[in-house]
Amino acid sequence: MPIGGVIFLTIFIAVFGTALIYLARLTGGMRKNNSAVKKEVYECGIPGQEKKDTKISVKFYLTAILFILFDIEIIFMYPWAITFKEFISKGQGAFVFVSMMIFIAIFIFGLFWEIKSKALEWD
């Protein structure tokens, strides 16, 4: 795409985005009732109780991060498995296989480290 097209698209997106924001403000109106009752939390007729000492366990976050980490491992392994036959036909099969085994070994080492450090236990 020539530079003129890029400049045109940039200007068009900026103008169109600004116009949409302006139209949303125009048609959306303003909130008129700003009373204290309107801003209170409603919990099925029971007055809301704010708890400032509520803490979420770090184990939830750790489990989520570990899930994402191992999910990304699968995302990297799937295309490798799909294209492995093509690498073999080009004569690069051994190199790709060794590199994937190193990748898997690093993740298996990480899994054993998690088990050893008891990161997956919920005590």
Adjacent-strand bridge partners of 46: 43
Residues spanned by the domain of 89:
58-116
The Cα-based distances of 33 to 26, 30, 38 in angstroms read 18, 9, 7
- Is 11 a member of any domain? no
Taking the model in full, what pTM does it have? 0.48
Q: How far apart are CA 81 and CA 70, in angstroms?
A: 16
Q: 109 in a domain, yes or no? A: yes
State yes or no: pLDDT of 31 exceeds 80: no
Give the bridge partners for 43, in sequence order. 46
Residue 19 lies in a domain: no
pLDDT of residue 36: 75
Contact 8, 16 (CB under 8 A): no
Q: Is residue 84 part of a domain?
A: yes
Would residue 103 count as lying in a domain?
yes
Residue 25 lies in a domain: no
Residues 59-81 pLDDT 10s? 788 888 888 888 888 888 888 88
Helix (H) or strand (E) holding 46: strand 46-47
pLDDT digit string, tens, across residues 84-110:
899 999 998 899 999 999 988 988 898
Specify the number of domains making up the chain.
Answer: 1
pLDDT digits (tens, 9 = 90+) for 35-52: 777 777 666 766 666 666
Query: Is there a domain that residue 41 lies in?
Result: no
Which residue pairs from 73-77 have beta carbons closer than 8 angstroms and sit at least 24 positions apart in sequence? 73/103, 73/107, 76/103, 77/104
- CB neighbour list of residue 99: distance below 8 Å, 6 or more residues apart: none
